Amino acid sequence: MAAIVQLPLELIERILFTLDPLDVPSVAKSSRFFRSVIYGPNEQPFWRGLYLAQPFDDPRKAVTRLGSPRKDINWRVELQRIIRAKVVAKNLRVCRRDERCRVLQTLLDLVTNVPPLPFRESDQMSRNVYWVQSLLRDGTFLEHDQWVLTDEEEQLRARLHTWYGLTRRDGEAEIRQASRAFVYSRRNHTASRAYGPFMPDGSMRVNWIHVRALAHVFGLILIEMEGEEEEIAFEICPLGLSFCQSIIPLGLNLDEEDDWAGVEGLWRIGYAFVDHREFIIYNDPRVPENEPLDTSIFEDAEETYSSIVLYFRVINVEPDPSHPTRPKINYIGELDGTFTLVGFVKLTADDQVWWHFGGGNDNHQPVWNGEAIGLGNIRSPCGAIGVWSTVFHDADDPIGPFWMNRQIVIEDD
């Protein structure tokens, strides 16, 4: 032991950096010297080195989900949380009940705090994203039934599943039927939810179970449209981790930018719906609220897809006292140079990006309504997923999922 501790500290640390972080606590127990290096008063430089030796992004180069630089990194705490999350994801039986939320939040933190891309065509994929994709690829952690989840845990897992994207099991008919039943149910489309994917208590907090169902339904529609083999299509579906990184040009500070959400530009709004007769039959008003609706109608139901491309133009911003650096953005949408819709983007009470719009007809009268939640990190290619309906919200009016994403504009030379 004496020979080892007489080596230069820098060399000792380099040797320790080659270890699996799970083995480091055992080394710390071997002597006072190693304990002082690993857990001493000046521990942060050691843990920074150990963290950066792992296959993760450098947090100092990352931005938060809303595009702000990261601050106050505790290298030891963050690495220990990540390694514990990895252990739990691989062996659910070792997870204590009191750490479930922390594990789920840790995996979310990994993919919501990543380096931004300077432009859309960049190939600088986040190492965090790749690591989480590999960890969750078999879908077990996202879909197992070994835990009786609390409401908070259920919301966190639904959010993580939404971020991850589609799993193999998501392609099963029974699972797809359940998501369609949720999305097309008028019971989930009420004034208390602002006719969007929000909690039913009027708090305007996002209901991630609803968002997850919307992303599931629309993701499978996109896959069917592409006509790819299922295994390939699930990997390249644009509603998933591979497309979650922010696109922030070099030098742009979103904390000082009015259009922090990247609203101005060309957008495609894709929307889907089921046959209206089937929709009416499914939402039978004679069925009591405390009894389930008959979801068998979705066993053979077909969805129709269509889309429009509009130019979104920011008209002004309004201060948001709850979010001083993220003002409310008011915008209009133009189709062939003609005003078509008006909307806004703002942060919700739980700091999610809320997109709202109302669309008009030829007389500019509002007819269509959309409420969506941003997917991925701010300004990411994931866009936003939501619910469309009419502005009247009458009992027989249609509802359905929609997905909006910013388009790449190729300029002529």
d(CA 12, CA 334): 63
pLDDT digits (tens, 9 = 90+) for 244-277: 999 999 999 999 999 999 999 999 999 999 999 9
CB atoms within 10 A of CB 375: 27
Enumerate residues 6+ apart whose C-beta is below 8 A from 207: 155, 193, 197, 198, 199, 200
> DSSP readout, 334-386?
EETTEEEEEEEEEE-TTS-EEEEEEEE-TT--EEEEEEEEE-SSTT-TT-EEE
- The mean of the pLDDT values for the chain is 93
Q: Indicate if the pLDDT at residue 412 is higher than 60.
A: no
Confirm if 359 and 341 have CB atoms less than 8 A apart: yes
Q: Indicate if the pLDDT at residue 51 is higher than 60.
A: yes
pLDDT at 123: 83
- The pTM (predicted TM-score) of the whole model is 0.94
pLDDT at 409: 67
The pLDDT-based confidence of 233 (bands split at 50, 70, 90) is low
Give the largest Cα separation in the chain, rounded.
86
Strand 328-335, strand 265-274: pairing: unpaired
Q: Taking residues 104-125, what's their average pLDDT?
A: 94
d(CA 269, CA 306): 9
pLDDT digits (tens, 9 = 90+) for 317-351: 999 999 999 999 999 998 876 768 999 999 999 99
Strand 265-274, strand 303-318: pairing: antiparallel
**Which tokens is 104 given?**
């789920």
Confirm if 175 and 318 have CB atoms less than 8 A apart: no
pLDDT digits (tens, 9 = 90+) for 10-32: 999 999 999 999 999 999 999 99
Strand 366-374, strand 384-390: pairing: antiparallel
Confirm if 171 and 197 have CB atoms less than 8 A apart: no
CB atoms within 10 A of CB 328: 15
Instruction: Quickly count helices (H) and strands (E) in the chain.
Output: 14, 8
pLDDT at 413: 47
d(CA 253, CA 237): 29
Strand 265-274, strand 400-406: pairing: antiparallel
pLDDT digits (tens, 9 = 90+) for 134-151: 999 999 999 999 999 999
d(CA 196, CA 216): 16
Q: How far is CA 323 from the centre of its chain?
A: 20
